[in-house]
Amino acid sequence: MNVTIVDYNSGNISSVINSFKEVAKDKVNIEVTSDLERIKTSDKVVLPGQGSFKSCIDGLNSINGLIDTLNEFALESKKPLLGICVGLQMFADIGYEEVETKGLGWISGKVSKIDNQGGKFKLPHIGWNEINIKKESMIFKGIENNSHMYFVHSYEFVPENKSVISATTNYSSNVVCAVEKENIFGTQFHPEKSDKLGLTIISNFINL
């Protein structure tokens, strides 16, 4: 089996790569690439994301044909895809970080700044926080409700259809921190930085 981590200049993704390789050991081939043919023929794809919504979308657009290839993989072939942090946010129709930017449009909704209630809550939201699992999700197998995951973000994904929400975290409000729509999965938190529980989520995705 091949699991491809998409490399599109979205910042340092070494911790994502290392965690997936640690979980996969020698049983699964983990490849890091922006090669369109490699992505198309993968069994699963991971879309990491560090930086702003706009910088990540610009990164995808900088590689000719990459967005079309990801659309084909996720929407037509319907193979499993996991978005992490801004990788999840890019599923939205539109994002409002820096400037209004069109997203991938895979899950209807928007990405807007977390309401910090006039400075009551620090932004970015950094550190460990409990997740509230909202629905049974294959990537949460073996994960107890109210487990702690590691976050670094100032913006949140607000989906139109609440049925895609698989977990929230309480920071100023109930912030969406995981989504699942058919073969498309996303976590706002960083599983690769969330210790053993995060590795369990990575393992669950690899084993889908």
Which positions ≥6 away from 136 have C-beta within 8 Å? none
- Global pTM reads 0.97
Q: What is the pLDDT of residues 172-195, one digit of tens each?
A: 899 999 999 999 999 999 999 999
Q: Please indicate whether residue 85 is annotated as part of the active site.
A: yes
Percent of the chain with pLDDT over 70: 100
Confidence of residue 119 (pLDDT cuts 50, 70, 90): confident
Does the pLDDT of residue 9 top 90, yes or no? no
Identify the active-site residue in 97, 156, 180, 192: 192
- The answer to whether 125 is a known catalytic residue is no
How far apart CA 187 and CA 167 sit, in angstroms, is: 9
| Percent with pLDDT over 90 in the chain | 93
Q: What would the CATH number be for the domain defined by 2-206?
A: 3.40.50.880
- pLDDT per residue as tens digits for the range 10-29: 778 999 999 999 999 989 99
Q: How do strand 148-153 and strand 125-130 relate by DSSP bridges?
A: antiparallel
Active site residue 190: yes
Catalytic residue among 56, 153, 156, 190: 190
Q: What is the mean pLDDT of residues 153-175?
A: 96
DSSP assignment of 48-113: ---S-HHHHHHHHHTSTTHHHHHHIIIIIS---EEEETHHHHTTSSEE-SSS-EE---SS-EEEEE
**Given 56, 85, 97, 153, which residue is catalytic?**
85
